[in-house]
A = this chain, B = another copy of it.
Amino acid sequence: MPREVRTRQMLDAAVEVFARCGYRTASMDEIAELAGASKPLVYLYLNSKEELFSACVRREAEALIAAVRSAVDPGAPADRRLWNGLRAFFAHTAAHPDGWALLHCQARTYGEPFALEVARLRQQLVDVVTDLIARTAREGAEQECALPEREIAGLAHALVGAAESLAGWADSRSCEAAGRTGAPPSEQEAAGTLMNLAWAGLGNLMNGRRWAPARS
């Protein structure tokens, strides 16, 4: 069996096991077995547990970012682009729950040696969203009312977080765990909720309709 194929199998297995168990709890034995190969072969091709995990994270993150990017038609109007990006995000995370779990749940531990890399990848996602928002704001501005960069960054972080949370909501595993009932939301629903939030927020902000605490 050619090396490339084997490597992919191993990554697939590793993503699944890491998503299920977490980095430390996952054992190389289990990964190797699931990949249908022997442990030494896993080491031969992927060097160490750490590198294997890194490779998984990188692959999944790149796939997610690529999915979002390619869904965004550069010629479309601003709102359409944001909408498509969101739908692609929810579609991809729903289609690849293990990869998503890896990125969202497992890869955040500070103190692990790959934390830095993971943080950078998440930042990439935020950057993509920041671009989307900035263009949306620019094109959609009814009047000359540029949002400060800092505010846009905040919005992007908030949106990414909201999207992550909604994606998690849609994940049946977390449903069971939390004891929630009722069907999880569809991608359309999740994207819709978020789109409305973003659209309304952007609109208000751009038009100066801010909420401010009443003087006490």
Binding site for B on A (CB under 8 A): 19-25, 79-80, 83, 101, 104-106, 108-112, 115-116, 118-120, 122-123, 150-151, 154-155, 157-166, 168-169, 173-174, 177-180, 182, 185, 189-190, 193-201, 203-205, 209-211, 213-214
Q: How many angstroms from the CA of A191 to the CA of B213 in the assembled complex?
A: 11
Q: How many angstroms from the CA of A162 to the CA of B162 in the assembled complex?
A: 4
Copies in the complex: 4
Q: Are B159 and A110 in contact (CB under 8 A)?
A: no
B106, B118, B154, B179: which contacts A193 (Cβ < 8 A)?
B154
Most chain B CB within a 10 A radius of its CB, from A110, A168, A203, A213: A110
Q: Are B22 and A25 in contact (CB under 8 A)?
A: no
A28 smallest CB distance to B (angstroms): 14
Cβ of A22: which chain B residues have Cβ within 8 Å of it?
24, 109-112
Q: Are B196 and A201 in contact (CB under 8 A)?
A: yes
B157, B163, B178, B189: which contacts A119 (Cβ < 8 A)?
B178
